[in-house]
Structure 1
Amino acid sequence: MSNKVSVLVAGSWGTAIASVLADNHLDVVLWSRNEQQVTEINMEHLNHRFLGDVKLSERIRATTSIAEAITDAKAVFVVAPSAAMRDVAAQMRPHLSRDTLLIHATKGFEATTLSRMSTVLAEELPEYDAASIVVLSGPSHAEEVIKQSPTTVVVAAEDSTAAEAAQDLLINNYFRVYTNTDVIGVEVGGALKNIIALGAGLTDGLGYGDNAKAALLTRGLAEISRLGTAMGGSSLTFAGLAGVGDLIVTGTSKHSRNWRAGYLLAQGLPLQSVLQQMGMVVEGIKTTQAAHTLSRKFGVTMPITDELYAVLFEGKTPASAVEDLMGRGKTQEI
């Protein structure tokens, strides 16, 4: 059997996953549209823009050809931004075998349809068994995974055999992998925690301290669970790695793009300036829009999400948003 696996695309998380696979003695082909990035990976074994001076395994080879990346691969990991997932999937279709294991590791919703990423893949790859599409999620900063820091994640698929196959490819002595069959819960948890991480960055940027952030993360998890269960996820999933685990790491770490974006917004920078300064996709921005709409579709109360939506898209100041959250009417916790 082929020892080849492919990873699309060569951002920070895609490259970190490629590194895990290479450490597991697999031959990894990393796809990028950027010829300069491909040359750097192949000649210098670096992906400097995303991961600095960390040396990559010589088992990782990059290409600009999606056909070259996918053909004869026993597994394909898709780590494209949510906005690009449908386009990347369409490009994959002529080259993807039904026997190839398909895993995605993108945390977000499609902005126009509000679809989860596994749904987008299933729609664009109708010949592929949708129940076998695997989602990889959990508390996992690329900057730490690439340095082999102990990390624990979850892989989920309706077909447990597919999840176990993904687990076998990834697991090693620094990257522990659990399986789950709750695809909806794992995808929703991974997407929605980015919203709360934006809020955590805002509270830190405003200097509100640990009490405020702890409250935000806890009540944020309640919002994630409310919407996630309404959409069909299991409440137990949100108490696990794809829920509270991912929320903690994304809402408290300097590595988190969403936390950094929220922190910059609290300094008074306009949204466009923040995005330009970040230079990378901040999934929580579009996810806030999606969740704002989904909460109304499913009749779920999400006050933190609503206030963040007002800050991001309606010109409300972060301080006013916090004041309105604290001034809400009395209610029970559970």
Structure 2
Amino acid sequence: MKISVLGCGRWGTFLAWYANRVGHEVMLWGRESSKHYLQLKESRMNDYVTLPQDIMLSNSLEAAVSFGEIIIISISAQELRSFAHSISLQKGLKDKIFVLCMKGIEANTGKRLSQVFSEEIGISSNIGIWVGPGHVQDFVREIPNCMVIGSDHIEVTKKIVESLNSSLIRFYYGQDLIGNEIGAAAKNVIGIAAGMLDGLCYSSLKGALMARGTREISRLVRAMGGNDTTIYGLSHLGDYEATLFSLHSHNRRFGQALITGEPFDKLAEGVSTVKALQYLGQKYEVELPICNAVYEMIFENADPKEKLIDLFLRPIKFEF
């Protein structure tokens, strides 16, 4: 099978490497001006993986979209709408399966990424998502993990899983697109909160953060029409280890750096996602105390120690 991967950052480059590893013809696309693309073109390697010679590199979006039967997209979540519009100008899209491999929510609309993408390309029947735990640094060391493929159409889900399942990544069928998308995005916000606790040397509170974080996001998913138990699966709770504890987690590291005043220049998708969750909490009238606290600390300069202590010492109530 021919697979195109659009986006040659850390995760996108790994996805091209992985698709090639499981036996597919692969074309990896990047913008001509992208530092990631230029590095790969020059050396065929980045800080994490070395691309086999049979993976094709291209800066032509037309060529990449035309090439793949399955098209995997891995770019910044907030850039998806404009990028999807560019894809919509290409030909033959009805014959393709698109797999979104980002974890985010459109900040200014609160829309899930599958909604954003389908609005722009005018097709909804051939879109899937790929979410769940895993770091490039672990996969390239042959450390396996479990992830989720989801779609509103089970045949699309099955086609993606059958094409990409392996001993390195075991896939589960995602049955709840709302819960999986919201859960995958929201875990990055909980990851920022975890980093803040690390920065304050309050890491022992991460257990409480995990318990309460899943509860508030499950309430939001239920209000949005999803299955609240999805939050306790791989897309959210199952990704906590990789996000709340891992040294590789950009979101956790961002939260810690915010507290300690250290510079941090990597993409932390949770920063934009917390804006979207503020909007969704108000729209669906769901209380999101952890998300609200993170928002106030990032955007309203709330005192982190005071805000986090207040958060975990709220008025006494029944747990469930």
Question: CA 1:142/1:83 → structure 2, altered by over 3 Å: closer, same or farther?
Answer: same
Indicate which of 272, 281, 284 corresponds to 2:270: 284
Cα pair 1:289 1:309 within 8 Å, conserved: yes
Which of 89, 93, 100 lines up with 2:88 in the alignment?
A: 93
1:60 maps to which of 55, 62, 67: 55
Partner of 2:178: 184
Contact 1:12 1:143 in 2 (8 A): no
1:199 corresponds in structure 2 to 193
State the superposition RMSD in angstroms. 1.5
Equivalent-residue separation in structure 2 for 1:305 and 1:37 (angstroms):
32
1:150 and 2:140 correspond: no
Pick which of 10-19 and 253-262 moved more: 10-19
**Once structures 1 and 2 are overlaid, which stretch shifts more, 321-330 or 83-92?**
321-330
State the Cα deviation string for residues 85-109 of structure 1 (Å, max 9, x = none). Answer: 0111111113252111111011111
Aligned counterpart, 1:117:
113
Letter in 2 for 1:123: E
Q: Which residue of 2 aligns with 1:225?
A: 218
- Secondary structure in 2 matching 1:135: strand
Aligned mate of 1:160, from 154, 158, 164: 154
- Picking from 129, 135, 138, the partner of 2:129 is 135
Structure 2: runs of 5 or more not aligned: none
For residues 15 and 292 of structure 1, the distance between their equivalents in structure 2, rounded to whole angstroms, comes to 32
Does the 8 Å contact 1:40/1:46 carry over to 2? Answer: yes
Over residues 212-235 of structure 1, what are the superposed CA-to-partner deviations in whole Å (9 max), with x where a residue is unaligned?
111111111111111112112212
Aligned-pair CA distance for 1:44? 2.3
In structure 2, the CA distance between the partners of 1:312 and 1:229, relative to structure 1 (3 Å rule), is same
Aligned match of 1:81: 76
Moved more, 83-92 or 39-48: 39-48
Deviations 1:275-317 (A, max 9, x none): xx32x32110011111112111111111111111110011112
* Structure 2 counterpart SS, 1:266: helix
- Say yes or no: does 1:20 pair with 2:18: yes
Percentage of matched positions with identical amino acids: 32
2:164 maps to 170
| CA distance, structure 1, for counterparts of residue 86 and residue 194 of structure 2 | 37
Instruction: Please give the secondary structure, in 1, of the residue aligned with 2:93.
Output: coil
Among candidates 204, 216, 224, match of residue 209 of structure 2: 216
What SS does structure 1 have at the residue aligned with 2:26?
A: strand
**CA distance in 2 between partners of 1:59 and 1:298 (Å):** 49
Shift of 1:148: 3.0
Give 1:45-56 correspondences, 5 Å limit: 45-48=44-47, 51=48, 54-56=49-51
Change (3 A) 1:40 1:268: closer
- Report the more deviating stretch, 109-118 or 33-42: 33-42
Query: Which residue, 310, 315, 321 being the options, matches 2:296?
Result: 310
Letter of the 2:315 partner, please give it. Answer: G
Q: Do the aligned residues in 2 keep the contact of 1:295 with 1:301 (CA within 8 Å)?
A: yes
Alignment length (residue pairs): 318
1:297 equivalent in structure 2: 283
CA distance 1:41–1:234, change in 2 (3 Å): same
Residues of 1 paired with 2:298 and 2:289: CA distance?
14
- What's the offset of the Cα at 1:8? 1.2
How far did 1:43 drift?
Answer: 4.5
Q: Is the CA contact 2:176–2:230 (under 8 Å) kept in the aligned structure 1?
A: yes
Name the counterpart of 1:40.
39
Q: CA deviation at 1:167?
A: 0.4
Distance in 1, Cα, partners of 2:53 & 2:42: 10
Aligned to 2:309: 323
Do the aligned residues in 1 keep the contact of 2:193 with 2:255 (CA within 8 Å)? yes
Cα distance between partner residues in 1 of 2:59 and 2:126: 27
State the TM-score, normalizing by the size of structure 2. Answer: 0.95
Query: Match of 2:147, SS?
Result: strand
- Cα deviation, 1:3-22, whole Å, max 9, x if unaligned, reads 32111111111111111101
Question: What is the CA–CA distance in structure 2 between the aligned matches of 1:120 and 1:69, rounded to whole Å?
Answer: 21
Contact kept, 8 Å, 2:27 with 2:67, in 1: the verdict is no
In structure 1, runs of 5+ residues without a counterpart are none
Query: TM-score, length-normalised on structure 1?
Result: 0.91
